[in-house]
Amino acid sequence: IKTIGYGTDRIAKQQFTISSNYFLRDLLLSGDILINDPLGNYVNKVADELLKNDPELRKQIHIYVTKSPQVNAHAFDKGFIFINVGLLAQLENEAQLAYVLSHEITHVLKKHSVNQYIENMKLERGTSSYESGNYEARNIAKYKFSQDNETEADAEGLVRIKESGYSVKALNG
């Protein structure tokens, strides 16, 4: 275990787990999640198709649609994926939805949420391998780390799409 100032990566992971558990509970009980509705059922059917060759992974992924108009989706390391209605409204076809899900699944598998949390703590304490300079340099490093995670999720999501049989050409747009 590498030290990160006042604690260890293990302690940071514990803090993250506690924090994200409360956040997930609050979100799931907020009334902002669509449960057993046609849109959520459709999104989950796309996930079923996308992961038909990996039933064990599918069992670990829990997908919900939120009532938010923002064009966004979120993934949590415990396998929870939230897709905003605002994002769904912008999609042109099922392949694009499958790609969004693939991207978010990569975030889950790579544990990007907890890794980002730990890296941000290291940046604040000046123990990051990304940057340990002034405030502005640390913020740029946070952005770079986040962008690296997004690039990885894009690339691996694309591989999953190709393997699933969805059309890569349909992703344009």
Q: What is the pLDDT of residues 84-139, one digit of tens each?
A: 999 999 999 999 999 999 999 999 999 988 888 887 777 777 666 665 567 677 66
Which strands sit side by side in the sheet containing 33-34, from one edge to the other? 33-34, 62-66, 80-84, 73-75
* Phi–psi pair at 63, nearest 5 degrees: -115, 130
pLDDT category, 3, cuts 50, 70, 90? very low
pLDDT at 56: 97
CA–CA separation, 94 and 43 (whole Å): 9
CA–CA separation, 40 and 46 (whole Å): 10
pLDDT at 153: 92
Percent of the chain with pLDDT over 70: 87
Q: Does residue 78 surpass a pLDDT of 60? A: yes
Strands 62-66 and 33-34: antiparallel
CA–CA separation, 132 and 124 (whole Å): 8
The residues with which 64 forms a beta bridge, in sequence order, are: 82
The residues with which 82 forms a beta bridge, in sequence order, are: 64, 74
Residue 58 CB contacts under 8 Å (≥ 6 apart), including other chains: 47, 48, 51, 52
pLDDT at 48: 97
Cβ pair 64, 40 in contact under 8 A = yes
Average pLDDT over residues 146-150: 85
